[in-house]
Amino acid sequence: MSDQPNCPSCGSSYCYEDNGLYICPECGHEWPKDSGAEATESTVIRDANGNVLNDGDTVTVIKDLKVKGSSLVVKVGTKVKNIRLINGDHDIDCKIDGIGAMQLKSEFVKKA
């Protein structure tokens, strides 16, 4: 299994190959076998100040964010530890104390 790449989404080393795709059993991310490191290098995620974000970083919220479908608000200055980068419109997956699991856009956070 040492010839299998790590998951570009969560970094897991438990990926496997199936019908020309690599699949991560931990996060469910799938990517083509023929796409190498060049695909992951083009998807650099940056915070509001332009700093490159990585999995496991701690970020700070720079704007009050309303939680959709709830009356809760993520306040300015809230620290979010151990983020996980994902693909999509909301590119940060995290857990916020007092609110729970949610996704954030990188444009509303800064690296701590």
- pLDDT tens digits, 48-104: 999 999 999 999 999 999 999 999 999 999 999 999 999 888 999 999 999 999 999
Q: Is 79 helix (H, G, I), strand (E, B) or coil?
A: strand
Residues 15-44: pLDDT tens digits? 888 888 888 888 888 888 775 544 444 578
- What per-residue confidence (pLDDT) applies to 30? 85
Is the pTM for the entire model greater than 0.95? no
pLDDT-based confidence at residue 12 (cuts at 50, 70, 90): confident
pLDDT for 6 beyond 60: yes
- What per-residue confidence (pLDDT) applies to 88? 85
* CA–CA dist 61, 48 (Å, integer): 10
* CA–CA dist 110, 51 (Å, integer): 8
- What per-residue confidence (pLDDT) applies to 105? 94
As a whole number, mean pLDDT of residues 105-109 equals: 95
Letter for the amino acid at 110?
K
Strands laid side by side in the 59-61 sheet: 79-80, 59-61, 109-111
Token match 């438990």: residue?
A: 14
Output phi, psi for 48, to 5 deg.
Answer: -65, -25
Q: Is 65 helix (H, G, I), strand (E, B) or coil?
A: strand
**Side-chain-facing half-sphere of 42: CA atoms under 13 Å:** 5
* CA–CA dist 81, 57 (Å, integer): 6
